[in-house]
Amino acid sequence: MAFLLVGYAGAATIAALLCMLRLFYLRRCCTNPIFTEYPFVGMLPHVLCNLWHAHDYSTQVLKQHGGTGEFVGPWFTGMNYMLTCDPLNVHHMLSKNFRNYVKGPEFREIFQAFGDGIFTADAEAWRYSRDLFHSLLKHKSFEVFLEKTIQKKVQNSLLPLLNHVQQQGRVVDLQDVFNRFTFDNICCTVLGRDPECLSIDFPEVAIEKAFNQAEESIFYRHIVPTFVWKMQQWLQIGQEKKMTEACRTLDEFIYSCIASKREDLSRNEENETGETFHVDLLTTLMREGKGKGEAHEDIFLRDAVFNLFVAGRDTITSALTWFFWLVATNPLVEAKIVEEMNEKFGINEKTVLRAEEVKKLVYLHGAMCETLRLFPPIPFERKEAVEADVLPSGHGVNPRTKILLFLYAMGRVEEIWGEDCMELKPERWISEKGGIVHVPSYKFIAFNAGPRNCLGKDLSFIQLKIVAAAILRSYHVQVVEGYVATPSLSIVLLMKDGLKVNMTKRKF
């Protein structure tokens, strides 16, 4: 009995010490907690109970705490984060003190599928990829190639498919259509080949679904303790089994494309036919490395291709899906977009516009900016502090502090956008003289800010406006009755159940 009493006393003493250490830690680093903390599980129950509307719930909580707060996860799991949607904090981390806020090793572990590509790299590895992609994406020949590729895909695949659906009177999932369109498009621009996913029979495409699964699994890694998903990875169960299968499918596809491309280039050199290859990005990467006597290894090319796919596929799909949902539920905005196109280019004279033509559509550009403000394709970004710092909001940051920047919330803050921030208002982006209003990137954060701002911003707007203009010049999009748009739980802001719509021919 005495032995048991001593054992109980020892256990109680250890528990008391742990609690004291925990309280000391919280007083030192958690000066502005955003939730009530429970013993052992921390603040995680709040997240799990509201996971079904995580983005809006996070926005609401951050607003209640002045835009910045601290989240404490289950004890001893390392799931402690600083959360912010304060534009001054964002500007400080992404621009003013850029060197102090990195992706970090834990980020690369979570985003394992991205390899050592531009999105996960830091320091010199990031600079090398950044300079390389800058030279590729900003080259005039690639811009021309991209424009022709998009126009061809819209004219020969997208519009015929929508016409087929409209004639049959079928409900169509526009998000699925855009997923297929952007997948074909990115395969053409990055790999130089068209898998033809966008066809009237809607073929099953394993590689396209593998990308979606990998992104959902990465989101899952953010909301569970590291040891949980690592245990699942080891046992190959749950989300981690799906992640492994998705990555295997992706790698087989990408490496086969790399091997095929090497054969094509080698054959072209042997034959010396002088044939001009399409300037797809993989070909350019291979030629550039070989031209400098530093041929890129397959693993480098694999990571580059994967990162380009995510950048050029998912973000465009997200933006187009939310754009058409917003336009379909705001008929006055739709009418003004169509009116602008008719004034500039006449009625039904030309369906698929060129890049120089869509640049003239200021109101359409404003509607796109509003879409990206309210529904940024990447809803949150993760950083890690290298050294101690103090944010403009007054919050102290310790070395290795993990920080989540809530980009979704930033587009819904009254202090940034005004009391009408929840309204779709393209006029917000149009000056009195009819030009486009410039908003600092640390406020309009859809394309990131600072040295890591999006290299493909201008190209993205061209793609978005060519597709949107082509559809709206021909069709009226109507969301099916009773449909509720729900953001998916993924690192890319898609719709959970797709976007179900009816297409009708536009009447003039």
Q: What is the mean pLDDT of residues 397-401?
A: 92
Residue 476 confidence (pLDDT): 94
CATH number of residue 269's parent domain: 1.10.630.10
Q: Which two tokens stand for residue 427?
A: 């006029």
Q: What pLDDT band is residue 336 in, cutting at 50, 70 and 90?
A: very high
Q: What is the pLDDT of residues 90-108, one digit of tens each?
A: 999 999 999 999 999 989 9
CA-CA distance, 482 to 474, in Å (whole number)? 25
| Residue 438 scores a pLDDT above 70 | yes
Residue 90 confidence (pLDDT): 95
Q: What is the mean pLDDT of residues 468-482?
A: 94
Q: What is the mean pLDDT of residues 350-359?
A: 88
Residue 50 inside a domain? The answer is no
Q: What pLDDT band is residue 48 in, cutting at 50, 70 and 90?
A: confident
Q: What is the mean pLDDT of residues 249-260?
A: 92
| Residue 227 scores a pLDDT above 80 | yes
Residue 59 inside a domain? The answer is no
Q: Which of 15-29, 45-59, 90-104, 336-350 has the lowest mean pLDDT?
A: 15-29
- At which residue do the structure tokens 């890591």 appear? 452
Q: Tell me which of 6 and 374 has the higher pLDDT.
A: 374
CA-CA distance, 112 to 17, in Å (whole number)? 37
**Nearest alpha carbon to residue 344 among 324, 323, 358:** 358
| Residue 139 scores a pLDDT above 60 | yes
CA-CA distance, 117 to 305, in Å (whole number)? 9
- At which residue do the structure tokens 């830091």 appear? 122
Average pLDDT, the chain: 86
Q: CB 414: neighbour CB atoms within 10 A?
A: 11
As a dihedral over the C-alpha atoms of residue 285, residue 286, residue 289, residue 295, rounded to 10 degrees, the angle is: 140
**Contacts of 36 by beta carbon, 8 Å cutoff, 6+ apart:** 43, 46
**Nearest alpha carbon to residue 111 among 15, 221, 26, 231:** 221
Q: Tell me which of 173 and 43 has the higher pLDDT.
A: 173
Q: What is the mean pLDDT of residues 400-423?
A: 93
Q: What is the mean pLDDT of residues 14-18?
A: 42
Residue 291 confidence (pLDDT): 54
Residue 31 confidence (pLDDT): 56
Residue 240 inside a domain? The answer is yes
Residue 136 inside a domain? The answer is yes
| Residue 508 scores a pLDDT above 80 | no
- One-letter amino acid of 234: W
Residue 73 confidence (pLDDT): 79
Residue 178 inside a domain? The answer is yes
Residue 74 inside a domain? The answer is no
**Contacts of 135 by beta carbon, 8 Å cutoff, 6+ apart:** 288
**Nearest alpha carbon to residue 163 among 503, 508, 506:** 503
CA-CA distance, 204 to 208, in Å (whole number)? 9
Q: What is the mean pLDDT of residues 394-411?
A: 93
Residue 22 confidence (pLDDT): 45
| Residue 305 scores a pLDDT above 60 | yes
Residue 13 confidence (pLDDT): 44
Residues belonging to the binding site for heme are 454
The answer to whether the CB of 187 falls within 8 A of the CB of 195 is: yes
| Residue 21 scores a pLDDT above 60 | no
Residue 438 inside a domain? The answer is yes
Query: Which residue range(s) make up the domain with 120?
Result: 80-505
Q: Tell me which of 392 and 72 has the higher pLDDT.
A: 392
| Residue 17 scores a pLDDT above 80 | no
Residue 7 confidence (pLDDT): 43
CA-CA distance, 134 to 118, in Å (whole number)? 11
Neighbouring-strand partners of residue 404: 83, 382
Residue 11 confidence (pLDDT): 45
Q: Tell me which of 259 and 7 has the higher pLDDT.
A: 259
Q: What pLDDT band is residue 294 in, cutting at 50, 70 and 90?
A: low
Q: What pLDDT band is residue 25 in, cutting at 50, 70 and 90?
A: very low
The answer to whether the CB of 367 falls within 8 A of the CB of 323 is: yes
* Total structural domains within the chain: 1
Q: CB 366: neighbour CB atoms within 10 A?
A: 23
What 3-state class would DSSP assign to 337?
helix
Q: What is the mean pLDDT of residues 433-451?
A: 91
Residue 479 confidence (pLDDT): 95
Residue 349 confidence (pLDDT): 58
Q: What is the pLDDT of residues 261-279, one digit of tens each?
A: 888 877 775 444 444 445 7
Residue 68 inside a domain? The answer is no
Q: What pLDDT band is residue 75 in, cutting at 50, 70 and 90?
A: confident
